[in-house]
Structure 1
């Protein structure tokens, strides 16, 4: 085994492969930084370039994009309040307020270091616990995945800042959005006679509209209130390295817990970085001694978000390599690279291609190092995004959002979807309705419906969800999450009343 690992290290350490990893990481960071571009789109753009490469070079390039993309989403999230990728949504909660306080360098630094540590921990999990996790994930059939998604949706209780009913209502609206178009049995629903709605709404334009467009409208409203005369608050672009190290020193347990959550959820087929993001953030808030600081610029929230979504990178390879089951779309593309070169992912891959498996491990570790170095060297320039006048920034970002939505399918209708849901998101924001549960409902709605129907097709008895141990456990955790959140919110309100 050591011989194969050293051989993989020699192949990845060659100048050509290292150069590909660096290029991939840089492209991934840039792609993740642009609102709406996403990790998946960055990987799709790079995918054709792997056709003429050998397996190690092609996979290393894709891994570089994968690792860089998951860390790149922090830039627009911190500087603009707009998540660059769906898996960095909760980064906005504390990263953007910290930047608004005049500490963008600190917020970016915490996120980058947390991403680096999350990736390394996930690689360790992949190497040492991969076979165990792969075996555990085999127990997840439609009932367990359905219960897991329900559990993820109940986390809106912990993310709605006391507005539990509004949070659940927003999640229900998100689920309703996913029912537009054909269902599993090819029945057309809620198309309103418009052919463009027959295929439903793409997640990307909806997410960009609800988050990005509504945020831009809010920025325009602030400009009007300020009469266009005030520059952004966060003009301090200094990078406080000592402060960042001190912050991370106090987040050791949070970093480890969030990374393990990301690795475990990444290893479960059909989940991914978005679910890991919400679960980790919710758990960090529940375990915190100061839960009321979440959403106001606490390092704990940034660490939980970035460590978990980056840890998905290592965890997602577990079912892909060991079982041949891609957990999400980026992993499906990664499988395409392997299949293109005549390599079939699965249990036999570890015996037939041990050097390639070792190269994947090494590429993840090298990619993590390259990612943190590139981000730290370029962070000062990323922070200067905050110095751009809002009058210039708003139309430029809106244009980039529209391009990102259009580039998904080269479909003009997606731009209209972005605009319509932007207005809807803005109106919900004005009504103090939390937007995150809505997005979570949109992201998980299709998978929830698919897994629920598969479960009922296999066994029409609803009690099966309670008789299967793992399914019952997740449903119990869902109920416990709501009850605990109600208790926690009541305690926070009582503490606020006592201090008033």
Structure 2
């Protein structure tokens, strides 16, 4: 294997190959930054150009494009609250809040460094852990996928920083939207109101763009300007080196989120849209200051971007070893492999080892190239967006969202769905209901329903089909994780309350001992705020 790795590294150092990786990374970033134009769509548009290319170069171009597209979605998520891809949903939660606080440049740098580390960790896992992890992914049946979806829904507790009830309302709205269209198992047509285009359900990309972007456009027009924000941006500007040091001063968050992204990428059908939210939730849960999340916390951006870029390498593990795409873009890359007469499996690594490892090393090179390209392009875009007057920015964003929603299925219905959900999200935000739980419910609703129905059907021969959800070893692990996720916020709140009580008791004791009473009150108040 070391010989193949060495030959792959040498092949990637050729000027023509480096140029190919650079072009693929930059093109992917450009597509990913456009709301609605997902990595899957961009790869599909790129496939015809690879028919005339040699297989190695075709795969390298697609891999670099994929890596760049996942990262590129963070730009618009941070700057205008418009996630370029579903993998950038959690990035928007913190990144846009940082933009409103005048710290968008720090958010862009955090996304870049997180994407670098996540991409490298995913590639390392692909190199060394492909066979055993691919075997692990095969152990997941319908029951496990149901519990994965339930575990994902517990993230709503973290997202509902203001009110748990409002967060749950948003999640229920998302689950209801997921029931529109033909049932994934059984084929019943539900809630389409006679519209054939709704038989495919509420499309994720137009819904996501509408729920996140349209409310901000309405607020942007209502504010009629962002002059105060521009002043704050100049006041908070830091040197690039200082920002990079700040990001890497928290290595645990980087590594943990990258590992989460890699593992979730291995599970067929999950991908970055789930990985970024799970990593964000874990970062918030383990933070010493979870109250800062939702208000512009750079660790949230780093966690989301580390996880979603790690899914690139993680998703390739089942794709290359057993021919099961880990994520939707992987299905396109698998198709290109088959078009060139290459079949996934152990034979692919032995008979076409040079090609495979050249492709794998190219993913790592693309992750490294994202840093200079992303910092130059991302910071330039950041400064351009900040300087652009609201009267130009609002219509520009609106046009992009309409084009992105239409491009998914070339359907005007999708545009109306996007606009309707956007207006609904604006009025829900006035009531304190966030868009994030709605999107989470929409993503996980179909996964939970499919897992539930298929699990019951596969266990029809048992005396109690429901028992299969509670007796499988992996299901028990996922149930334990779900319970822990549900209880952890209450445990943390109890610990904080206990610490405040202890601090107050310490303040009373000091006062009784004759310390200056006013000073003790000030110290106790400070401890309570902390």
TM-score, scaled to structure 2:
0.89
Q: Contact between 1:27 and 1:42, CA under 8 Å: does it hold in 2?
A: no
Distance 1:169 1:476 in 2: 24
Q: Contact between 2:106 and 2:298, CA under 8 Å: does it hold in 1?
A: no
The answer to whether structure 1 residue 469 and structure 2 residue 469 are counterparts is: no
Q: Contact between 1:153 and 1:441, CA under 8 Å: does it hold in 2?
A: yes
- Report the counterpart of residue 410 of structure 2 in structure 1: 410
Equivalent residues in 2 for 1:90-105, closer than 5 Å:
90-105=90-105
Listed one character per residue, the Cα deviations across residues 248-274 of structure 1 (whole Å, up to 9, x for unaligned) are 232111111111111111111121111
How far off its partner does 1:455 sit?
Answer: 1.2
Can you give the 5+ residue segments of structure 2 that lack an aligned partner in the other structure? 501-524
How far off its partner does 1:194 sit?
Answer: 2.8
Distance 2:19 2:162 in 1: 49
Q: Contact between 2:100 and 2:229, CA under 8 Å: does it hold in 1?
A: no
Greater shift, 429-438 or 378-387, is seen at 378-387
Q: Contact between 1:158 and 1:482, CA under 8 Å: does it hold in 2?
A: no
Greater shift, 484-493 or 431-440, is seen at 484-493
Q: Contact between 1:101 and 1:233, CA under 8 Å: does it hold in 2?
A: no
* Residues 411, 376 of structure 1: alpha-carbon distance in 2 compared, 3 angstrom cutoff: same
Quote the RMSD (CA, aligned, Å): 2.1
TM-score, scaled to structure 1:
0.94
Q: Contact between 2:118 and 2:305, CA under 8 Å: does it hold in 1?
A: yes
- Report the counterpart of residue 450 of structure 1 in structure 2: 450
Listed one character per residue, the Cα deviations across residues 187-217 of structure 1 (whole Å, up to 9, x for unaligned) are 2111223333233221111111111112211
Tell me, what secondary structure is at the counterpart of 2:466?
A: coil
How far off its partner does 1:490 sit?
Answer: 6.2
- Report the counterpart of residue 487 of structure 2 in structure 1: 483
- Report the counterpart of residue 358 of structure 1 in structure 2: 357
Q: Contact between 1:320 and 1:326, CA under 8 Å: does it hold in 2?
A: yes
Q: Contact between 1:114 and 1:303, CA under 8 Å: does it hold in 2?
A: yes
* Residues 388, 493 of structure 1: alpha-carbon distance in 2 compared, 3 angstrom cutoff: farther
Q: Contact between 1:263 and 1:314, CA under 8 Å: does it hold in 2?
A: yes
- Report the counterpart of residue 440 of structure 2 in structure 1: 440
The answer to whether structure 1 residue 250 and structure 2 residue 254 are counterparts is: no
- Report the counterpart of residue 374 of structure 1 in structure 2: 373
Distance 1:285 1:377 in 2: 29
What is the count of residue pairs matched by the alignment? 497
- Report the counterpart of residue 175 of structure 1 in structure 2: 175
Equivalent residues in 2 for 1:103-118, closer than 5 Å:
103-118=103-118
Can you give the 5+ residue segments of structure 1 that lack an aligned partner in the other structure? none
Distance 2:495 2:406 in 1: 46
How far off its partner does 1:477 sit?
Answer: 1.5
The higher radius of gyration belongs to 2
Listed one character per residue, the Cα deviations across residues 59-117 of structure 1 (whole Å, up to 9, x for unaligned) are 11111111111111121122112222111111122222222222222221111011101
- Report the counterpart of residue 154 of structure 1 in structure 2: 154
The answer to whether structure 1 residue 262 and structure 2 residue 266 are counterparts is: no
How far off its partner does 1:138 sit?
Answer: 1.5
Distance 2:277 2:99 in 1: 21
Listed one character per residue, the Cα deviations across residues 372-410 of structure 1 (whole Å, up to 9, x for unaligned) are 111122233111211111111111111011101111111
- Report the counterpart of residue 59 of structure 1 in structure 2: 59
Q: Contact between 2:108 and 2:379, CA under 8 Å: does it hold in 1?
A: no
Listed one character per residue, the Cα deviations across residues 336-373 of structure 1 (whole Å, up to 9, x for unaligned) are 11011011112321122111221122111111111111
Greater shift, 197-206 or 457-466, is seen at 197-206
Q: Contact between 2:174 and 2:441, CA under 8 Å: does it hold in 1?
A: yes
* Residues 344, 485 of structure 1: alpha-carbon distance in 2 compared, 3 angstrom cutoff: same
- Report the counterpart of residue 198 of structure 1 in structure 2: 199
Q: Contact between 1:207 and 1:439, CA under 8 Å: does it hold in 2?
A: yes
Tell me, what secondary structure is at the counterpart of 1:89?
A: helix
